[in-house]
Amino acid sequence: MQDVQRWSCGLLFLCSVLAAQVPPAQKVAIPIEVQLDRSASGTRAILRWQHDSEYTDSYTVIFRNRATDPQFFVAGTVPPGSGGMFSFELPLVDGTLTEVGVVNRFVRTINNQQVQFAAAGYSCIATDPPAMPFRGRVLLVLDSSIVEPLAAELAQLEDDLDREGWRISRTIVPRAETFNATAVGRTKDSIVAWYRRGSLDEPATVFLIGRVAVPYSGLYYQGQYITPPDGHNPDHRGAWPCDGYYGTISESGWSDAIADTAGVVRQENRNLPGDGKFDNVFFPSPLQLRIGRVDFYNLPRLTPQGSTDRQTEIALLRDYFARDHAYRRGTALYNWSALIDDNFKTYPELFARSGWISFPPIVGRGNVREEKWFPTLDTSSRLFAYGCGAGSYTSAAGIGNINDFATRSVRAAFTMLFGSYFGDWDSQNNLMRINLARGALTCAWSGRPVWYLHPMAAGETIGDIAMMVQNFSPFAGQSVYVSSAAQGWI
């Protein structure tokens, strides 16, 4: 992982720092306890949090209606004190989902420079939300080659989604093992046609299953090339996988006119004018669709002796849907806890803030622990897990390499990983996809940008979180959370 410019604090951090100078990532997390108080005069939320003596500013309490407000509003401030628990009362409107936050900041001296760190905690409070007859619409976009061998699993998935209150449709698209601009276009056309046929007010989710064509985009913005989000320039410049393209209905603003090949190592990242790979490093318009993918193509390290890669791909998909079914039906039991494996403790960006801020509102502050990815997840389950470390396409230092993942299980439902290279997930034996194949149900590349999962405690899906993160943009003024670099990137 190399350093890139980041916009959250207006500083260019240097990575040559001493570990003792950089605060631990949990230092920037303010876990909030929420208690509801109902009376004849209305409903109030009582927020409580532990004071940290290093926070010298007043605490700012913020809130928003999660359904209608794009930005937070300031509810009030609490001056710093000498210690103990602080509290703040906030009136609520019944029948709404209110998101609250507490933010502060502190200063550390790093390399003889004063560096300001922002700290935050968030939570979501649902007060008598109205019962919804349907949760939304889901489109299953199926690689044509998996429809027959996985017929039973796909039928089971549709039944599970129907039981959960989703309206399900499916479309079959051509398999595309290498980049195929025509297949990308056909897939996008199918998705947009489905979206426009239904109610545009209903939440819409697209689930790409199998080797569905992979769009590519980046890394260009307003006349200049942008350093890749993992900082590896020039070898990791060029276009990266961009499934979010399928989530933008409008084609306006997507450019394919720039050459970006100098120093680029992988053919997949090479970007030429008119090749079907886009130039945008930021989405030109907000996503309207939640996009997810399960794709186990090109993972030969998981192919056992005597089997073909194709047989293994189908077997991995079958296993994934068995685990997905068990989770949805409540027969897969996970420890109500979260793991954080932070191997970037000398980076002032504090990538692991994603876990320290996201997990306590869901599983409780006391159930979030620093543990090693392996052997912990091979022998014990966790509902959530976050890990980061210096990476390659097939490894993350301190977490594991391709052989560790191939021979062990990942017994965590919702996972986030961060490190160099493997965020470019359309690569052979990619770490994130193998993590998914070995037991996780979801995997996000969280650090640049940071993902915040706390709304899942109030019933939002991982798809809701993904779209929220993708729709942040520091240039469009849409960044609402204390975060690090690369918000709104492809």
* The pLDDT of residue 7: 25
Which residues of the chain, if any, have pLDDT below 70? 1-20, 82, 473-479, 482-490
**204-262 tens-digit pLDDT:** 999 999 999 999 998 888 888 889 999 999 999 999 999 999 999 999 999 999 988 88
Of 142, 141, 435, the closest CA to residue 316 belongs to 435
Residue 293 corresponds to which tokens in the numbers above? 């993918």
**Strand 166-173 versus strand 216-221 pairing type:** unpaired
Q: Which residues pair with 224 in a beta bridge?
A: 221
3-state secondary structure of 121: strand
**23-44 tens-digit pLDDT:** 999 999 999 999 988 887 789 9
* The pLDDT of residue 14: 30
Strands ordered across the beta sheet of 33-39? 33-39, 42-50, 85-92
What residue spans define the domains of the chain? 19-126, 136-294, 333-470
Residue 417 corresponds to which tokens in the numbers above? 């990983």
DSSP 378-427: HHS-EEEEEEE-SEETTEETTTEEHHHHHHS---EEEEEEE-TTTTS-SS
* The pLDDT of residue 288: 96
CA distance 468 to 486: 14
Exposed, middle or buried: residue 307 (CB in 10 Å: 0-12, 13-18, 19+)?
Answer: exposed
Question: Structurally, what CATH architecture does the domain formed by 19-126 represent?
Answer: Sandwich (2.60)
Angle between helices 309-329 and 151-163 (to 10 degrees): 20
* The pLDDT of residue 31: 94
* The pLDDT of residue 12: 26
Q: What single letter denotes the amino acid at residue 11?
A: L
